[in-house]
Structures are given as structure tokens and as C-alpha cells.
Structure 1
Amino acid sequence: MVIEQTRVEVNRLRRRYQPEELEFCTTSADVPPLKDFIGQERAVKSMQFGLNMKAPGYNIFVSGPPGTGKTTYIQTVVTQVAAREEVPGDWCLLYNFNNPDMPLAVTLPAGMGQKFQRDMSNLIEELKTGLAKLFEGKDYENRKNTILRGLQQQLEDALNQLKQEANESGFIMKTSEEGIFFIPVQDGKPLSSEQYQALPEETRVSFEQKLKQLQKRTEEIVYDGRMMEKQAEHVVAQMDQELVRETTSPLFKKLEHRYRDFPRIITHLRHLAEDLISKVSAGHQESAAEDESHDFYKNYLVNLLVNNADTFGAPVVVETNPHYYNLFGKLEYRSQMGTVNTDFTMIKPGAVHRANGGYLILQAKDLFADPHSWDALKKALKNRQVTVENIGETQRSVPTISIKPEPIPLNVKVILIGSPRFYHLLQQVDEDFAKLFKVMVDFEVVMPRTSENLRNYVAFVGSVCRREGLPHFDRSGLAEIIEYGSRLAANQNKLSTQFNEVVEIILESAAWAQSAGAQLVSAVHVRQAIKEKIYRCSRVEERIQELILRGKILVDTTGAVVGQVNGLAVLDTGYYAFGKPSRITAKTFMGHEGLVNIETETRMGGSIHAKGVHTLTGYLGSMFAQDKPLCLSARLTFEQLYEGVEGDSASSAELYALLSSLAGVPVKQSLAVTGSVNQNGEIQPIGGVTEKVEGFFGVCQARGLTGNQGVIIPVQNVDNLMLSHEVVAAVEQGLFHIYAISRIEEGIELLTGMPAGERGPDGRYTPGSVLAMVDAKLQQYAEGLQRFHG
């Protein structure tokens, strides 16, 4: 009786397409392309809220598994929102004449930065041309020569006066490269050294006193000459500066008028003019012309750090490689003659600078690959400013000479895209994360299988076909795509939103249709695409099935064995998941050790699996230890399982093996079991039910279907079944069976063919039932242990 009550009807094994579900179309071409993002209402509303919130800290973390289309959606919706916003200004770096190590950061309306940079370049060219002509002209040379000739005349007059004084004092003045000399004269003739020494002492003393006076006067003339040279240089410099001022003033006034609304630029232009006037001279021009490696005008250039001239709306920057320098820019260096140097024109911007005033989209896993990026991003968001600083500049034990531009005010909304694991980890380990990323956009992997979403699915298929130039799908092909969406969702009432996997099947189905020369893609092409995809990925599954068929992995599909049950697990290779049957055995004997799980003891089992085993003790105690102690030693294990086990989906199978061993009742090996159990004996749902059923079916089919084989599943998992057409056909023909149960007792009767038994008012179970046999065995163990110890 329990067999018929628990057998799952064929129409519940796979939710098939119903004609009325697609009555709105004949092919995918009949439905207009999608305009909105489907299946993510919660995420869409959260995203809209996050984008509308302009307060600090309302940055966005987009969470969800890969393949849900979240990255594409985020870029699309952010671009749409940004297009309606104002374009932020440009940012320029200028030389700081007051503090050269801290370049000035100046903002201008979008597009004006480029114009300002061009205006300054034109100014430099005009200065070069104008100043070169200024110092090369005849007028300049004449004015300069007039000053120099005046100086020369004064020196000549002073020397002539000195010469006259020398003659009057009895000396002849001689000049040479070595200086000025005075030779004594007597009777109009120069005296030789011998003649001078032969003079009377009084005469020599007189000559020497006069000579000292002449030498003192010579020193005064030399000193006055030097002073006159300096005065002449000063006069020439003043003349140069005045000429430069007269020449450049119209140029600067024109720029000052053009940028009159920007006080910092006006101040900069005036400092620039003062710097130019103070440095420019004929000598400077000559040295600049001779030394091309020294750019005389470099400090007058403009470093256009951020140029929004071609930006439409607020900027949207998607940084695919968010290491520190790509995000925050860097200060580059130039190597010359064995040394390195830099200047403000070698400061390069990062993605944060380009996104300022708009949106910055980053992948979380890429961001955290660089340990410096996250800390620097948090600092920038907290301080609401960003600068350019090379890594390690602040940590150097020996400071180096470098430059650091003024910080730029930061107004950017950062959108991080990552997995739920990243989000929860950051919430736990980083106290700043919750303050800075207050909006969580959570993407779902499934959506309800409603008529509206069915229409959206068809529209999605049509959009892909139009975009890729593929043949459209007929109604049968669309039905298969929809059923595939429910299979991916692992729920008959849901559709998968992991559209990358759906797109793969769309593309591959179209390819098979084209190779067959079909005008439309139909069900046969979709099934072939799914079959071929499974074939490409199922090498490991086929290898395991081969080992089972060859008897290398022991799994029985016929007969009955005491204490042995076929359990089911799901193996995930990363790109393909499949069900794998495993033999679960139990051995019971007298003792006090209780249940011992070999996987747990050998550390091959996880904590959830261990919990499931401990739950069995609670069930046994409640069922059989109300009038006696639970005296039992038992060993449970997954035979030939070497990769470890996690989860409690096999706990019901372990309990069946344990009860079979205690009762001495054999279990049908033609059935496999999945489902967890609680201490009350209630069967609980598990995951991967479709893969588990198909895994056992594959082994049975390979050995030959007998009509007695099948799988026992929790009743709550019936709506998770989206079995392959092959399995459904076998069930339809009575060659395979699916049973859905809600209590352990139902499973006992299916596996043993015997009544499970019910507890009577006296606490005893129905005579001849499985539970009565178990109770009797445990009574025997308790009495035996008492006699043994007594």
C-alpha cells in the first residue's frame, strides 16, 4: 500500500510546457526585444535607491553568483543614470611658484581644461618668439651699448685722471694684462732699478710716499669700476625686465581676461609673469638656446590631469585591473645621466580621478588582489579627497625628495561587484565597510515561473537571436529553453536568472539547427545542444559509472542485503555536477560506544555530516530507550569513499542501514535513498535531487532496467525535480520509479517490504514489524550487557 501512496506520478517528475503557456507567440521573433532587466525586482529597486542617494557612504555593493547578468546590468543602468547628470569639471595641475613640491590642483568647467592647456602652450610659443626677437633687435643692442659705453667712458676718464696725477707725482703710468704699473722718472727719463737705488734716501722715501698715494687711488678706481659694472648690469637687467614686461603684458592680460572668473588661475598667471620677468635676460635666452635638455618654460605648462571635454553626463569608469596605480595614479620618473628626476608634468591620473563626479565600477575579487588598493580606496572615500602618491612614500625610513600635488575633492559613487561571500566577509572583518557601502544590491539566481516571466524568457531568447544574427526558436524550442531554465533553477516553479548558461544553450541550439539546415530552432536542436554539452563535461561521471559496472566500485542494483543501503551524493567538478551512488553500510553489536561514524573518526566527514549522525542517536533514544538504556555499539561508513563527505542528506540512508542491521532485515538494493532525517523521524529536504536521481538511473540503465529500481526522495523535493526526458520516459514505461516520503517508517516499508510497525499503548511495537525487531535486539543488548557486567 505504501508503494502506491508514495510513488510520484509521471507528470510531477518534470514540469513540461503547456500549450496555453506560449499561446502569445509562434516563434521568438513574435515578441519584442527586452527593454528591462528581468527577474531581479529586488536588485533593481535597491540599485535605483543606491543611485538616487547622494549622501556620503551610500556606495553600492552588488552581490550575486556569476552568470546572473549583474555586471552587464550595472554598467547599463549606471550609464543611463549618469547620462542625465551634469558633466563634472576638468582638473589641471599647475606649477606652484610658492611651493614647487606641491603642484596646484585647479578645476575648470568641462572642456575648458583642454582650452587652458592649449592657451598656455600657445602663450609659451609666443613668449619664445617674442623674447627671442626682443633680445636680438638693434634697438635693444643700441640701448645696451649706450649703457656700456657710458660705463667705459667713466672708466677711461678716471684712468686719464690717474695718469695725469702720476705724471705730476714724477711717475709714468703703464697698463698691461697684469694691471697698472708706475715707473719713477727723473729729468724726464724712467729710472732703472740700479738708478733708483742710487738715489738719495730722502728722494726714495718721497717717491715711495707718492707711489702709495697712486696705488690707493688705483684701488679706488678699480673698486669704482666694479661698482659701475654692477650698476650697469642692474640697469641692463631692469631694462630687460621692463622690456619683457612691456612685451608680455598684453599676452598675460588677454589670458587674465579670458579666465577672469577663475581667481586661482589669475593668481597663477601673475606669479608666472613675475617669475618670467625675474629670470628672463639675454643671458638666460642664450643658455636656454644652447642647452636643449633644459626646458626653460616647463614650469609654465599645464598638466591636464582629468579631461571631461568628450564626457556625456557624469563619467562612468569601469576599471578591470584595479591595482593601486591604476586606481590612484602615479608619479613617474625620468632617468638621466645615472640619476632620476621628476616634475609636476609627470603626474599621471588614476581611475578614481577620472570617475570623480560620477561612478566607479570595480570587481571585488580584482580589487582585493592588491593589498594597497582597498586601504587607499577607503581612505579616499572617508576623507572625500584623492591625491597622487606612490606606494611607500610615507613609509620610507630615509625621506626622498619628491613632489605631492594638492588633494582633489572627491565626489564619486563606487560600485563593487562580488559574491555574497565577499560581502559577508567584509561585514565581519572590516568595520569601515558597513559605513562606506550602505547599499547592498542582492541578485537572485531564480525567478518565479509566471506567465509574465515566461514572456520575458521568450523575449530574452529573441533578443539573443537578433543580436547574434541567429535563426529564431519555434514554440517547441522555446518550451525546451524554458524547461531548461527550470532545471537550472532546480525548481519546477522557478526559472533560472543565470542567463549566461541559458545563452550558451541558445547559441549551441542555433548552431545545431543551422548545421541541419533548419529555418527555426526546435526542441530536437535544444535537446541535442543540452546532450552534447553534458557529453563534453561528463568524462568523470562516465569514468565512475564504468568503475561501478566493472565492479571496481561496489554498488548493487538488485537483490537485498542486511545493513546495506544505496546512498546518493552530488559531485561537482566546477563546471558540471552529477549524482554518484555510494554504498552505505552499518554494523551493530553489543557495547556502550553508541554510534561511531568512520568518516567522522578519520576526519573525512564535515561538521554537518557529523551533526546528521548525532541526530540518529536522538532518534534511536526516543524510539527504543524509554524503558531501557540504549546499549549499542555501531559503525557507519560510506564504502569506498576517499574524497570526504559533507552534508546530512545521507542521514536517512544511514538510519535505514542501522535499523536493517539491528533488525536483521535485508534492504532492497534496487532502491537508492536520499534525504536527511530529524530526531522525530521526519524526512527533510535536500539539494541536488535531480542529479542524484539521474545518477542512480544511469547505473541501473547501464546494467539493465528491471522495473523494480528507483529512488526514494523527500516529499518536499518533488517540486525540485526536473528530470531528463530519458528518466521520465523510463518511469512512464514502468521501468523506473520515484518515491516521495515524509517519515522514516515509509522508507522502511519501501526498502524492506515489511511493515515498519507502530507503538502501542503498552510501548511495544507491532509484532513482526521492523521496529519491533529492532526493539527486541536492543533489549537483548541491554540484558546481555547487564549479565556480562553483573
Structure 2
Amino acid sequence: MPGRKKKGSKMRELTLDECKNQCPDFIFDCKSSAELTPLERIIGQDRAVQAMQYGLRIKDSGFNVFIAGEPGTGRKTSVVDFIKELSKDRPVPPDYCYVNNFQDSSRPKCIALPAGTGKDLRKEMDQFAAGLIKALQTAFESDEYNKQREKIIKEIESERSNILLDANKMAQKAGFQLQPTPMGLSAIPMTEGRVLTAEELAGLPPVLQKEIDMKRLEVEGNVRTYLRPLRDLNHKAEDLFLKLNRETADLAMDPLLERARDKFKGIAAVIQYLKDVEEDVLNNLGALLLPPQPGQVPGPVLDPTRGYRVNLIVDNTEMKGAPAEVEMNPTHNHLFGFTEKEVRFGALYTDYTMIRAGSAHKANGGFLVIEAERLLADPFAYQALKQTIMSKKLAIEDPATRFDLIVTKSLRPEPIPFDCKIVLLGSPQIYDLLFRLDQEFRELFKVKGDFDTTMERTDENLRNYASFVCTLCTKEGLLHLEPPALAAVIDHSSRLAEDKFKLSTHFAAVADLIREANFYALEDKSQTIKKEHIMKQLEAKEYRSNMIKEKIGEMIQNGTILIDTDGAVAGQVNGLAVYQTGDYAFGRPSRITASVGIGRDGVVDIERQAQMSGPTHTKGVLILAGYLNRKYAQGRPLSLNARLVFEQSYSGVDGDSASSTELYGILSALSDLPIDQSLAVTGSVNQMGHVQAIGGVNQKVEGYFEVCKTRGLTGKQGCLIPESNVRHLMLKDEVLDAIKAGKFHIYPIADIDEGIEVLTGVPAGEQDKNGTYPEGTVHRKAQDRLNQMAEAIKEYRP
């Protein structure tokens, strides 16, 4: 087996401290987190806080805020806490109520009232509606009313009698008597002071009958001059009764509305509404006083006073400042309200009393927080939100009417003036999508606040993190953490951040860690959460999710998946990959092989040929051809067929983190130098040969370590990782213990030359000014092989 680079070479192994930035216990000067000061501000999000401070305070139109960040970073909690604090110094917005529009019941009117007075108006009108009919009945059954009515009747009857008496005198002079009939007044002939009977009239001579008929027509013609005063008298009676009824009703209503007039005398809209109520009552006295008819179905629809009640949709009585609403289900109805409907007598019925407010009504005058992704799930809601912001009017509409084939009349409540700061919460991807595709979005949400997923691991932030733990434990009644447990939480946070010099701002994940550790501490009857409880939670959570990982480990162990962890093989390298199953990620080694031969195809990716690779992996393979051209094709073209494959890979491959591994395989196959199989490799490469950082470095190293541990650590096994990934290492304690004991090694690699030397034990070689490499080096052997291939293909004649 080829030897390793000896001490004194430029290659080095990572020290224990470089593999994990372990938080010391002593930084937390306390016996438990209970002694710490609770956190009262947002930490690690200075950029987002500045954006919120600016966006939520500026008054100009369009400066609503979009908070971009990943779920679990505390963005919603932080925003809600911030706006609640900000709203304390803002004025309380008015109450809003809908009342009947007596001129057009399909267009209910909206009245704004000082905060807390809306319920007073509703109470006053409820009492008015409840007492109106009784008050009217009492007034119209009173002796005074009957007396006035009788007086009018007597007056009218007297005038009617005088008119009829004059008409009778005129008729009697002509020998006729007037008698009322359904058709009016008829003239009946008389003789000797009495009315002729029909028989007597029929017995008269025809000439006399004709003469009587002529006189009757003349008399009846003269009677018409008396009918006009009778009609005028009827109109006069109606007017007098109407005036009496209105005055009586007005006197009956006045005590019921007096208190409302006094209480709201400074609000013109209420005073006008009360006048409209009075007028409607006076115009509908008949319906109000009409007793129920036999067989009539009782129900609210028949309540004649329903239209005098007030529908209070926004009640800010208990509000201490501006409202701060969070809408968790931002559908159109939940945001902008709706009108309820109910079936009555087989038909849908609605009126202004069935109008219901949405969260936009409740947040009006303050702040409204909405999840962008959920908002976009209802296109009507998103469009309505933009329209509301632009028009500054809050309208209640039924979006379903847009699809009605037949236009039906529905309620169109008067819009409410809208003045509210909107805060959308969403991922950076949703923000970018809306910003690129929606011009109106850019004009309405001019302030963006980015919630970072990490923050610097400074001493100050360590103490702030501990204060966050104190706040969580105090708020939720959890056991507090001892300093070693706090340090373990800090280390896990850096692992979540995938950077030993940073902390994760995924506070939801950290909070869940502490909650679960609290469970184990309670089971142990401990008074505090210790480090062992934190570690137990991490192990238990991993065990619940790592079944697939264990199955793959079993297949590697029993030889189903072929992986060598000792020996040396040319053209074969142990690559490292990360698998994601839900919220759990784990690493595993994968055999990568390379074969070379004479030809002009260059580097061929078998995964791509089989349509099992993604675009990023394909790009990585193409970069290998660029590296080979730069390294070996400056004097002549490459005459090479190289085949690369991930062995026993059946689910597809993507990503470029194995590109350096593939290049090592090609160099090994070209130089015929075997690669140490006790080492595994990860890292991407560029055309210049620089090894670049990759993701999931901790999972990859730990995945290979577990395979080696299961087979038995030899002291020669280890991993090659990009030097730029060293800062991302936060390895598990068992890996650190093996490194400390010298049984496992990690090599930081900056370029391909360093890596190939570690893998083969042979110097890579540096090109001289003539473009050749020293004898015995990897590149010289590879170059010689390529030259041989070029000569062979030149001489080949098919």
C-alpha cells in the first residue's frame, strides 16, 4: 500500500479543536439558566429589525413590509412582538358598525364611532327596537289620541253633512232626493214629499218619464259640483289623520331616542341615522301596528323592527392602542369579511345584520400580519388585498358572484376607509417570485426585511442565546438548564448553522430540543436539565429517523453495497454523499470508478448517458474536461475516452460535490497509481484544480466514520474535505474521540495536487517551463499515458 505524506510535507491533518468549536461551560456565570436575565429583544436579526422599524413607522403609501426568512427562525414571533410594542403608542382606531339604508336596503351604510361607543349605540337601538311597538300601541290606544281622532272625525263629518245638505236642497228644489250608491250620489224623483217607487215611476206616462229622466240628468250634473269638495274633504281627513298619527308616533318615539341623541349629538352620521330611523317609523306605522294575521308564520324575517338594529362589526372597547392582528388562515372571507345567508321559506335571505367583519377590519388603524404562502393559495384574497391597499377602502364582497351566470341582487355594504400596515411573512423564494412577476407588489411592498438563518458566535450572542433559553423555560414552565447543558445547546446550534463560528437562528428547532430534553429530565426526576438530557434527546431524535440509514449501513456491512475501507485500487475512490429523509440528513460512502482508454470522446458521465444525473452533476463532470485540457492538452489534443460512474446508484445523482472525487479517479486510472481505499473524499473542483466547499460536510464525515467503526478502526482511515469546509465542522463526540486517539483522520485539501498526493502517496508534480512534469510524479505518469494514447490513435488505421 502506498505510504502517507510524511511529517514535514505541506499536507496536514486537522487538530481536535479544528473539528469542533466546543463551547466552554464557564462562559455562563450561573448555576442554571434561571439566574439569567430573560431576553426582551430580537437577537441576530439586526437587518430585519431595522427594516421593520423603518417600514412600520413611515406613513407614506406603499411602504408595507415583506419579511423574508425561513420558517422556524422566529420571524413571526419577532414581528408580532415588535408590532405589539409599537402599537402601544398608537391611537385606538374607531368602532365601525353597519346600519340600514332606508333608501336602498342593498347598500347598508357604515358609521364610524369613537372607540368603545359602538356598543352604546347598538344597545340604544336594541332598546329602541324592543320598546318601539309597545310604545306605539300605547300611544295609539291612549284617550288623548282617541279624543283627537274623534275631534277630526266630527269636524270632517260636520263639513261633509253641510255639503250634502246643500246638495239635497238643490235636488229637492228640482223634485229629487239624493241617495248614496256605490257609484256616488243618485237623484231619485219625489212627489208630494216622498220618493217615487220603481213601480210608481214605471206607471207614469212615457212623456212624463222622459221629462223626469231629463231633470234627473240635470240634477246629477249639478251634484258633481258638490263631489269635488267631498273629495277635498277626504284628502283633508287623510292629512289630518296622518299628521295626528305622525305627531303621536313622534311623541312615542322621542323618549326612546332621546338618550341616543344626547350621547351622540356631536357625531353627524349618528344624528342623521336617527332622523332616518324616525322617518322610516313614521312611513311604516301601518306595518308596525298591524297585528299578526291568522296562519302567519312567525320568524325574524317578519320582525318589523329588525331594520332599526345596529350591526357592530368592529368593537375596540378593550383596545389599549392600535390593533395588531395575525391572520393564520388568510382566505378572502377571513381577511375581508362576508355576508351570511340563511334559507327562509325556500330562498336565501340576507340583510345588513348578517354582515361579518374580517381580520382586515379588526386590524384597521394598526397592523396586520399575513403568511404570504397561505395568502397566495387564495388568489381572490391576494388580489383583494392589493386592491384594498391601493384604494384605501375596505369593501365586503362575495367573490363567488364573479362566477354567477345570472346576475342577482346582493348586498353591497358601504366601504370603510382603510389605513393599516400590512406585514407579509414568506420565504425569499416567494418574495423573488412576486417581485419579478407582479408590478403592483413592488409598488405596495417597498420594504423588505431579511431574516438571517445564522448569526455570529460572539460571546455577547452566546449570552443572548442563553437568555433566550431562560425566557423559553420561564414562559413555558420548563426546567432550567445547567451551564454544560447550555454549552451543548450552543454547540448543537452551531451544527445546525453548519458553521463553527456561527449560531443558528432556527429558534423553533432549538426550542424543541429543550422541550424534549425537559421530558427526559422530568423522567429522571432531575431539578434541572443537564447535558446528558440534551445528548439523550439528540440521540433519541436521530434514532426515530435513521432507519433508512441503518438499513444502508447493514447492506454495506454484509457486502450488498460494495465499499472498501482498506487496500488500494487504481481508478476507484470512495465518494461521500448526503441523503435527506424528511428532517433527517445522513451521509454514506459511495464507490466511484473511472476507466480510461484510447478515443476522442473525452470524459463521459455514465450517469448522464443513463439519464440519471441532474444538471449540477453534469456541469461538474464537464469541468473535469476543462481541468484535463488545461493540465495535459497544451501541446496536443487529448486522445481520451474516460468513463465515470457512481457504482450501485439507482435513484439518480445530482450535485457537484463529488467532482474532485471523480477527477482523482481519472488521474489514478491514467497514472495507474492505486488510491488508498481507507480514505473517503468530498469536494467540488474548478477548472484551475482548486477544491471548493460543499454542503453537509459533518454528515459526510460521520457517515464514513460509522462504516469504518463498524468494520473496525485501523488508524489509517479518514476523509479528505475541502479546506474551505473546515470552518463548517462540528463533529459528534465519538468522531472527536477517534481523532484524539489517532484512529481517524481528516485532511483539509486546497487543490487537486494536495489530494492526489494524500490518496496515492506519490508527489503530484509541478510543470516546468517546457510543459513537462518530473519523473515519478502523478502528473508525469498521467501525461505519459496520454501521450501513448495520442500516438496509438495517430497510428491506428481502421
CA deviations over 1:375-414 (Å, ceiling 9, x no partner):
1101111122211111144665643222322222211011
CA deviations over 1:335-365 (Å, ceiling 9, x no partner):
3222233322222211111101000011111
What is the one-letter code of the residue matched to 2:18?
R
Residue 40 of structure 2 aligns with which residue?
35
8 Å CA contact retained: 2:136, 2:289:
no
One of 764, 771, 782 as aligned partner of 1:774: 782
Offset, 1:259: 2.5
Aligned length: 787
What pairs with 1:728-743 in structure 2 (closer than 5 Å)?
728-743=736-751
Secondary structure in 2 matching 1:626 = coil
8 Å CA contact retained: 1:13, 1:718:
yes
What pairs with 1:459-608 in structure 2 (closer than 5 Å)?
459-608=467-616
What is the one-letter code of the residue matched to 2:599?
G
Offset, 1:250: 6.3
For the structure 1 residues 781 and 107, does the alpha-carbon distance in structure 2 shift closer, same or farther, using more than 3 Å as the test? same
For the structure 1 residues 183 and 480, does the alpha-carbon distance in structure 2 shift closer, same or farther, using more than 3 Å as the test? closer
Cα distance in 2 between the residues matched to 1:410 and 1:193: 83
Cα distance in 2 between the residues matched to 1:175 and 1:19: 116
Secondary structure in 1 matching 2:91 = coil
What pairs with 1:137-152 in structure 2 (closer than 5 Å)?
137-152=142-157
Residue 433 of structure 2 aligns with which residue?
425
Cα distance in 2 between the residues matched to 1:254 and 1:516: 67
For the structure 1 residues 164 and 649, does the alpha-carbon distance in structure 2 shift closer, same or farther, using more than 3 Å as the test? same
1:17 partnered with 2:41: no
1:242 partnered with 2:247: yes
Percent of aligned positions that are identical: 39
TM-score by length of 2: 0.92
CA deviations over 1:691-718 (Å, ceiling 9, x no partner):
0000111111122222221111011111
What is the one-letter code of the residue matched to 1:93?
Y
One of 14, 19, 22 as aligned partner of 1:8: 14
Residue 55 of structure 2 aligns with which residue?
50
Offset, 1:98: 4.4
Cα distance in 1 between the residues matched to 2:185 and 2:626: 124
CA deviations over 1:255-305 (Å, ceiling 9, x no partner):
44432322232333333333333433xx34432665764333333322222
Secondary structure in 2 matching 1:595 = strand
Cα distance in 2 between the residues matched to 1:430 and 1:339: 41
What is the one-letter code of the residue matched to 1:613?
V
Residue 65 of structure 1 aligns with which residue?
70
8 Å CA contact retained: 1:162, 1:214:
no
For the structure 1 residues 190 and 489, does the alpha-carbon distance in structure 2 shift closer, same or farther, using more than 3 Å as the test? closer
TM-score by length of 1: 0.93
CA deviations over 1:121-160 (Å, ceiling 9, x no partner):
3344454343222111122122212322444455556666
Please provide the CA RMSD for this pair: 2.7
Secondary structure in 2 matching 1:360 = strand
Secondary structure in 2 matching 1:6 = coil
One of 310, 322, 327 as aligned partner of 1:319: 327
Greater mean alpha carbon deviation, residues 540-549 or residues 671-680: 540-549
Residue 345 of structure 1 aligns with which residue?
353
Residue 302 of structure 1 aligns with which residue?
310
Cα distance in 2 between the residues matched to 1:511 and 1:395: 53
Offset, 1:681: 0.9
One of 74, 81, 90 as aligned partner of 2:95: 90
One of 115, 119, 125 as aligned partner of 1:110: 115
8 Å CA contact retained: 2:5, 2:761:
no
For the structure 1 residues 157 and 475, does the alpha-carbon distance in structure 2 shift closer, same or farther, using more than 3 Å as the test? closer
One of 265, 271, 290 as aligned partner of 1:266: 271
Residue 362 of structure 2 aligns with which residue?
354
1:206 partnered with 2:214: no
8 Å CA contact retained: 2:25, 2:487:
no
CA deviations over 1:655-703 (Å, ceiling 9, x no partner):
0111112222222221110001111111111111000000111111122
What is the one-letter code of the residue matched to 1:263?
A
Cα distance in 1 between the residues matched to 2:63 and 2:169: 93
Secondary structure in 1 matching 2:657 = coil
What is the one-letter code of the residue matched to 1:240?
N
Offset, 1:249: 4.9
8 Å CA contact retained: 1:288, 1:294:
no
Secondary structure in 2 matching 1:202 = helix
Cα distance in 1 between the residues matched to 2:56 and 2:234: 72
Residue 652 of structure 1 aligns with which residue?
660
8 Å CA contact retained: 1:595, 1:617:
yes
One of 365, 373, 380 as aligned partner of 2:373: 365
Greater mean alpha carbon deviation, residues 554-563 or residues 154-163: 154-163
For the structure 1 residues 288 and 437, does the alpha-carbon distance in structure 2 shift closer, same or farther, using more than 3 Å as the test? farther
8 Å CA contact retained: 1:62, 1:440:
yes
Cα distance in 1 between the residues matched to 2:387 and 2:506: 35
1:135 partnered with 2:143: no
For the structure 1 residues 144 and 637, does the alpha-carbon distance in structure 2 shift closer, same or farther, using more than 3 Å as the test? same
Cα distance in 2 between the residues matched to 1:276 and 1:189: 53
Offset, 1:322: 0.6
For the structure 1 residues 535 and 241, does the alpha-carbon distance in structure 2 shift closer, same or farther, using more than 3 Å as the test? same
For the structure 1 residues 181 and 113, does the alpha-carbon distance in structure 2 shift closer, same or farther, using more than 3 Å as the test? closer
Secondary structure in 2 matching 1:62 = strand
Offset, 1:43: 2.2
8 Å CA contact retained: 2:573, 2:664:
yes
What pairs with 1:208-227 in structure 2 (closer than 5 Å)?
208-216=213-221, 225-227=230-232
8 Å CA contact retained: 2:683, 2:692:
yes
Offset, 1:329: 0.7
CA deviations over 1:415-474 (Å, ceiling 9, x no partner):
111111111111111112222112222112222221112222222233333333333332
Secondary structure in 2 matching 1:630 = coil
Cα distance in 2 between the residues matched to 1:264 and 1:702: 83
Greater mean alpha carbon deviation, residues 187-196 or residues 442-451: 187-196
Cα distance in 2 between the residues matched to 1:76 and 1:526: 29
CA deviations over 1:290-328 (Å, ceiling 9, x no partner):
576433333332222211111110001111111001101
Offset, 1:47: 2.1
For the structure 1 residues 466 and 170, does the alpha-carbon distance in structure 2 shift closer, same or farther, using more than 3 Å as the test? closer
Greater mean alpha carbon deviation, residues 344-353 or residues 373-382: 344-353
8 Å CA contact retained: 2:129, 2:306:
no
Offset, 1:182: 6.7
8 Å CA contact retained: 2:188, 2:216:
no
Greater mean alpha carbon deviation, residues 361-370 or residues 101-110: 101-110
Cα distance in 1 between the residues matched to 2:508 and 2:13: 36
Offset, 1:570: 0.9
Q: Unaligned 5+ residue runs, structure 1?
A: none
Residue 628 of structure 1 aligns with which residue?
636
Residue 31 of structure 2 aligns with which residue?
26
Cα distance in 1 between the residues matched to 2:181 and 2:631: 131
Cα distance in 1 between the residues matched to 2:651 and 2:420: 48
